[in-house]
Structure 1
Amino acid sequence: MQAKHVMTSPVITVTPDTPVPDIAALLLQRRISGVPVTEADGRLVGIVTEGDLLHRAETGTERRRSRWLEIFTGGRGQATDYVKSHGTRAADVMTRHVITVGPDTELTDIASLMERERVKRVPVSDDGRVVGIVSRANLLHGLVAYRTPQPRTTGDAAIRETLLGRLGDEAWIDVNHVNIVVNDGVVHLWGVVDNDDQRHALRVAAESVPGVRGIEEHLHRNRFVE
């Protein structure tokens, strides 16, 4: 799945001259946590998020920096904070470095990007212009809509072969330490695991095989591993 399959489009945007109170009202009204800032031609120039409006003079929440810190920074941080807390337009408070993705970006890459950059949404840009936005909620929508095409696995032997094939590609388990017996669709897991994470992963792997009716564990912890 790619960004274009789950993104919200058209995108709610504001201009650099949009007043800050209007942006706050828009976020509340639309129940969104951020809004891209675009020029008249649709070119992306920034984004305003809830975090950008967190420290405001109107609510008495502006950031107070240590005077000692300002001595070493030359007051640059203080000036930036002042603009953020007192600025009246989107251009004053917006984050200018915007992380974007393209319409064909895979959802796996977007999820990793959000986690790495600690952001909740990313604009989808095509030739410098915003065509959509992907939020964490959009990723969940993709999860709900997605159904993995599963070949029909019939018979105990086929279930066992499929499961062993999947586990053979995984680095977290040595299939030589695990024996799998399938009887009437019930997978019996025998052998030794190093920890409870491996135990859990084995169960998840077995449950994901079509045709499995149940799981029976007969696994033991490796006593030589702490």
Structure 2
Amino acid sequence: MKARDVMTRTVVSIGPNATVLQAARLMLQHHISGLPVVDPNGALVGILSEGDFLRRRETATERRRSRWLEFLMGPGKIASEYTHSHGQKVSEVMTDQVQTVDEDADLEAVVELMERHRIKRVPVTGGGKMTGIVTRSNLMHAMVSMARGEPAAPKGDAEIRERLLGEIKAREWAPAAMVNVVVRDGVVELWGAVIDDRQREALKVAAENIPGVKAVKDHLVWIEPTSGMVIEPPEEATKH
């Protein structure tokens, strides 16, 4: 999927000369956590988020540091923080280094951008103007929509087993040579060993995601690599 397939096209935005108070009211009115800032020509010039309101003089939450630390930081950094906490115009408070994507960007690229820069929204641009925005909510909507279009359930146990074995072989984290799968009446039984207990949960998830699976039984033992100790699966340990 592309950014254009999931983005919100009608975007609430604000101009750089608007006041911070106007921006805050707009965000509260529309129940949004971020506002793109656009100039009169529709070009994206910045973005304003809830985080920009954390350190404000109105709430007496400006940063306070010792004079020694301020000396080490230098006057430029301190002056910038003062502008951010006391500025009355959006242009004085907004982040002007905005991460954007174009409409043809893959969703994977959008997610990587969000993770790398720890942001919740990515404006989408085209022709020098903002055409939409992709938020975390948009990605959740896409997930739900894609789930509705899942492939039909396998016809029988043999097909379930083949699908699961194929998924295990395709994943680098999966110990394919150490795991066997048995399927009876839609119930998947996992046999064999793992060398990291987190692999156990991932294998169970892989099985549960296959249409037609009714339940998953875990018979995997955990072989601790350093000591060689063999630890029984939780289901087996409770029988003793």
* TM-score category (smaller protein): over 0.9
What SS does structure 1 have at the residue aligned with 2:220? strand
Paired residue for 2:155? 154
Alignment of structure 1 residues 202-213 onto 2, 5 Å: 202-213=203-214
Paired residue for 2:90? 90
| Structure 2 CA distance for aligned equivalents of residues 194 and 33 of structure 1 | 43
- Contact 1:194 1:225 (C-alpha < 8 Å) held by counterparts: no
Alignment of structure 1 residues 68-83 onto 2, 5 Å: 68-83=68-83
Paired residue for 2:51? 51
Paired residue for 1:199? 200
Question: Aligned pair count?
Answer: 226
What SS does structure 2 have at the residue aligned with 1:22? helix
Question: Gaps spanning 5+ residues in structure 2: where?
Answer: 228-240
Structure-2 change in CA distance of 1:73 and 1:221 (3 Å): closer
Paired residue for 2:124? 124
Length-normalised TM-score, structure 1: 0.92
Report the Cα offset of residue 222 of structure 1.
1.1
Task: Report the aligned-residue RMSD.
Answer: 1.7
| Structure 2 CA distance for aligned equivalents of residues 2 and 45 of structure 1 | 23
Structure-2 change in CA distance of 1:84 and 1:189 (3 Å): same
- Contact 1:65 1:78 (C-alpha < 8 Å) held by counterparts: no
| Structure 2 CA distance for aligned equivalents of residues 201 and 73 of structure 1 | 46
Amino acid in the other structure paired with 1:203: K
What SS does structure 1 have at the residue aligned with 2:134? strand
Report the Cα offset of residue 122 of structure 1.
1.3
Paired residue for 2:179? 178
| Large movers: runs of 4+ above 3 Å | 223-226
Question: Gaps spanning 5+ residues in structure 1: where?
Answer: none
Alignment of structure 1 residues 211-222 onto 2, 5 Å: 211-222=212-223
What SS does structure 1 have at the residue aligned with 2:100? coil
Q: Percent identity?
A: 48
| Structure 2 CA distance for aligned equivalents of residues 81 and 171 of structure 1 | 46
